[in-house]
């Protein structure tokens, strides 16, 4: 029974229709969570005793950084699936992830710089986490550049898949860099499985933003996926119905 | 191997191993992969020495780049010594990127790469052999040239062994990482910028540790730690990069 | 209220950070929808070229 579900996910018309149906189910909860998280983070949460109101940047910085890693991992897994089992839809998923991940990596770097200046006195520091996050941005851009430079869609899919898989080593480096090396960046305070060291009034909006951004990614991915699936399909029958709708 | 006469003084020039020889079909039984790899390496080396002008290009580029900095920044030796690690590594990285375009280009053009892929021998090993030849032709000469550039930047003679070691080990990793990007961009016209964009992110750790090792060599500090990290990166590259490059070559040739 | 806008003196850092992130969110929505529209248009054109379109 699970196999029919899996096989159906490989069928482009099924995926197209499913993506269209699912998008609102991710988009609206995402909007609610993000708005709620913004309210909780900007208004309700008390100022930090050390950083004052400046700490509120965490409510956009941490979700952006989380997105940059999570989206790349998704992209790499989809790319691997596409490479190993030669499933076009998987390649379409990977292609859809890249622009989303790149934009949030950029946001993470910029918001991090804006947070760093008042807190550490510098916009930038070549410490392991910041440097590897910058590497991640270049990996995204390289992925998109490679796709753009190859005209044949199949070669573009497979070549960029190799790149995505090779670059995935960067993700654990970014995440664990703060524990492996003494660095400017603070140690993880949320991702520890033991009790997080943040107060609840500060933590809850952050969790709402993290979840909201994740659902937002799913919604945007589904929209882009439909376009990617369409552009990989040559057969006329099911496309004719879509286009005439 | 057969030779042929050169127009000059009747000297017999041995032919480079042909691709068929390099992939060593012996009837229906294939020779051991190490023999095939060795022949592929010898072939690349011999072919490269035929075009000596092309060999010198990355080195000349490296020399020019390292010359730019004293002219552009300051001829003061004390200041140059401070920036020497960065200058040496920036130059080495750029020269490597320049040379990487030649790694697969000629073989892809004349069909040798396809023969390697179809031969039934392990493409991973053959690509490893090609990358090793590439390092012997570019990375190693760069490592030997680097101390000269360093001396011109005010570095003391005592730093020379450290500089050679760090650039030699680091350039191994650079060649291996670069082979992946070169394989992915096979056949793309004017792929230089894209190749750099793909190779630079993955080679930044090499740059960081390499520059640190060179810095310690210049100031006389303990460079064993970053050197060991560089060696670890090189070993990681040796085990993983040829696999990825082989997969990429197959995809590019499809 | 002014405390909110001043962000305890950190306004010059907090608000641009939120603006950049909001821009990322909005741009993603806009780009995704535009990409989908472009794909549909391309599919329509491909079909009409083959004489199977509307």
pLDDT in tens, A71-107: 999 999 999 999 999 999 999 999 999 999 999 999 9
Q: How far apart are CA A102 and CA A164, in angstroms?
A: 13
Min mean pLDDT across A137-151, B107-121, B128-142 is at B107-121
CB atoms within 10 A of CB B228: 13
| Regions of chain A with pLDDT less than 70 | 1-2, 180-197, 236, 244-245
- Output phi, psi for B191, to 5 deg: -85, 5
Task: List the domain boundaries for chain C.
Answer: 10-49
> What is d(CA B141, CA A33) in angstroms, rounded to the nearest whole number?
58
Nearest neighbour of B247 by CB, restricted to A126, A131, A162: A162
Contact A162/B200, CB-based, under 8 Å?
Answer: no
Domain for residue B4, yes or no? no
| C-beta atoms of A223 and C32 within 8 A | yes
A172 close to C (CB below 8 A): no
pTM of the model: 0.86
CB contacts, 8 Å: A136 with chain B: 201
Q: Which domain holds residue B186?
A: 19-253
**Residue B222, SS3 per DSSP:** coil
| pLDDT tier for residue B248 given thresholds of 50, 70 and 90 | very high
Summarize pLDDT for B28-59 with one digit per residue, the tens.
456 788 888 999 999 999 999 888 888 888 99
| Contact (Cβ atoms closer than 8 angstroms) between residue B77 and residue B154 | yes
Judging contacts by C-beta atoms under 8 Å, the chain B residues touching residue A102 are none
Least confident of A60-74, A119-133, B142-156, C20-34: A119-133
The candidate with the shortest Cα–Cα distance to A222, out of A103, A32, A93, is: A93
- Rounded to whole angstroms, the Cα distance separating C32 from C35 reads 5
Query: Under an 8 A CB cutoff, do A114 and C8 touch?
Result: no
Q: Is B11 within a domain?
A: no
Residues of A in contact with B212 (CB under 8 A): none
Question: Residue A2: which region, alpha, beta or left (left: phi > 0; alpha: psi -120 to 50)?
Answer: alpha
Q: Where are the domains of chain A?
A: 23-45+52-185+198-236
Q: Which residue has the tokens 């960046």?
A: A185
Number of domains observed in the structure of chain B: 1
What pLDDT score was predicted for residue A159? 95
For residue B101, pLDDT over 80 is answered with yes
Place of tokens 């810095």: B215
Query: In sequence order, what are the beta bridge partners of B104?
Result: none
Given B191, B197, B254, which is nearest A142 (Cβ)?
B197
Number of Cβ within 10 Å of residue B64's Cβ equals: 12
In this structure, what token pair is assigned to residue C54? 């509307």
Are C30 and A100 in contact by the 8 Å Cβ rule? The answer is: no
- The pLDDT assigned to A165 comes to 95
Average pLDDT, chain B: 86
pLDDT at B139 over 50: yes
Q: C17 and A239 in contact by Cβ < 8 A?
A: no
Q: Give the nearest chain B residue to A135 (CA atoms).
A: B201
């Amino acid at each position: 029974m699970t196999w029919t579900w899996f096989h159906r996910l490989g069928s482009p018309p099924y995926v197209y229709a499913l993506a269209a149906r699912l998008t609102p189910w991710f988009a609206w909860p995402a909007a609610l969570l993000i708005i709620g998280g913004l309210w909780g983070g900007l208004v309700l949460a008390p100022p930090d005793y050390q950083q004052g109101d400046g700490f509120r940047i965490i409510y956009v910085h941490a979700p952006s950084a989380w997105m940059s890693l999570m989206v790349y991992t998704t992209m790499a897994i989809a790319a691997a699936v596409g490479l190993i089992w030669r499933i076009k839809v998987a390649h379409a998923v990977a292609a859809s992830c890249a622009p989303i991940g790149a934009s949030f990596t950029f946001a993470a770097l910029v918001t991090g710089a804006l947070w760093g200046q008042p807190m550490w006195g510098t916009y930038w520091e070549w410490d392991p986490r910041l440097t590897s996050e910058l590497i991640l941005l270049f990996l995204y851009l390289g992925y998109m550049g490679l796709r753009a430079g190859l005209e044949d869609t199949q070669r573009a899919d497979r070549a960029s898949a190799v790149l995505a898989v090779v670059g995935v080593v960067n993700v654990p480096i970014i995440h664990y860099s703060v524990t492996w090396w003494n660095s400017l960046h603070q140690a993880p305070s949320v991702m520890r499985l033991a009790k997080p060291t943040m107060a609840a009034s500060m933590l809850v909006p952050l969790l709402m933003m993290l979840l909201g951004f994740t659902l937002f990614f799913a919604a945007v991915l589904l929209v882009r996926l439909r376009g990617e699936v369409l552009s990989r399909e040559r057969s006329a029958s099911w496309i004719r119905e879509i286009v005439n709708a | 191997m057969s030779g042929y006469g050169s127009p000059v003084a009747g000297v017999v020039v041995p032919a480079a191993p042909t691709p068929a020889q390099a992939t060593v079909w012996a009837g229906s039984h294939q020779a051991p992969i190490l023999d095939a790899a060795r022949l592929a390496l010898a072939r690349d080396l011999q072919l490269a020495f035929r075009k000596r002008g092309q060999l010198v290009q990355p080195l000349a580029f490296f020399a020019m780049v390292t010359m730019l900095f004293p002219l552009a920044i300051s001829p003061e030796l004390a200041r140059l010594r401070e920036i020497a690690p960065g200058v040496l590594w920036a130059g080495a990285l750029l020269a490597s990127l320049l040379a990487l375009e030649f790694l697969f280009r000629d073989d892809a053009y004349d069909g040798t790469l396809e023969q390697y892929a179809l031969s039934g021998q392990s493409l991973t090993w053959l690509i490893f052999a090609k990358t090793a030849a590439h390092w012997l032709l570019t990375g190693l000469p760069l490592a030997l040239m680097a101390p000269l550039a360093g001396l011109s930047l005010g570095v003391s003679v005592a730093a020379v062994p450290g500089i050679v070691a760090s650039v030699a080990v680091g350039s191994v990793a650079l060649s291996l990482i670069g082979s992946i990007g070169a394989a992915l961009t096979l056949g793309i016209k004017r792929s230089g910028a894209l190749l750099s964009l793909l190779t630079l992110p993955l080679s930044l750790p090499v740059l960081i540790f390499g520059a640190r090792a060179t810095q310690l060599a210049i100031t006389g500090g303990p460079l064993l730690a970053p050197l060991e990290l560089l060696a670890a990166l090189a070993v990681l590259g040796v085990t993983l990069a040829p696999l990825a490059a082989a997969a990429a070559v197959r995809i590019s040739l499809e | 209220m002014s405390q909110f806008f001043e962000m305890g003196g950190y306004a010059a850092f907090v608000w641009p950070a939120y603006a950049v992130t909001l821009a990322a969110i909005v741009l993603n929505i806009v780009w995704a929808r535009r990409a989908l529209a472009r794909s549909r248009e391309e599919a329509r054109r491909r079909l009409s070229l083959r004489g199977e379109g509307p």
